[in-house]
Amino acid sequence: MSATPTAPPAALRPYLTTRHELLWQEADAFAAEVVAPRAVRMEAAPGRVERKVTGLMAARGWFAVTVPAAFGGLGAGHVAKTILVHRIACVSAAVAAILQATLIPVGALVHFGSDEQKRRWLPTVADGSLLLSIAVTEPLAGGHIGGIDTRAERSGDQWVITGSKIHIGNSHLAGAHLVLARTAETGVSTSQALTAFLVEADRPGLTVPGHRAGLGLHGFSAGRLDLDHVRVPDDNVVGAVGQGLAVAQSSSILYGRPNLAAVSLGIHEAVVAATTTRLQARPRYRGALADLPVLRDRVGAMEARLRAARILAYQSVHLLDQGLPCDA
Give residue 52's pLDDT: 93
CA atoms within 13 A on the CB side of 91: 25
Please provide the DSSP assignment of 127-139 as one string: TTS--EEEE--BT
Predicted local confidence at residue 4, as pLDDT: 57
Q: For each of the domains in the chain, give its residue range(s) and CATH number, in order of start.
A: 132-244 (2.40.110.10)
Supply the pLDDT for residue 215: 86
Q: How far is CA 97 from the centre of its chain?
A: 5
Kindly give the parts of the chain with pLDDT less than 70.
1-5
Asked if residues 214 and 239 have their Cβ atoms less than 8 Å apart, the reply is no
d(CA 65, CA 61): 7
Each residue of 148-163: b (16+ CB within 10 Å) or e? bebebeeeeebbbbbb
Per-residue pLDDT at 204: 97
Stated pTM of the model? 0.92
Give the pLDDT score at 2: 43
How confident is the model at residue 186, as a pLDDT?
77
First-to-final CA distance of the chain = 33
Distance of alpha carbon 51 from alpha carbon 39, whole angstroms? 12
Q: Are 7 and 30 in contact (CB under 8 A)?
A: no
Beta strand spans in 156-284 (E): 158-169, 176-182, 194-200, 206-207, 222-233, 237-238, 283-284
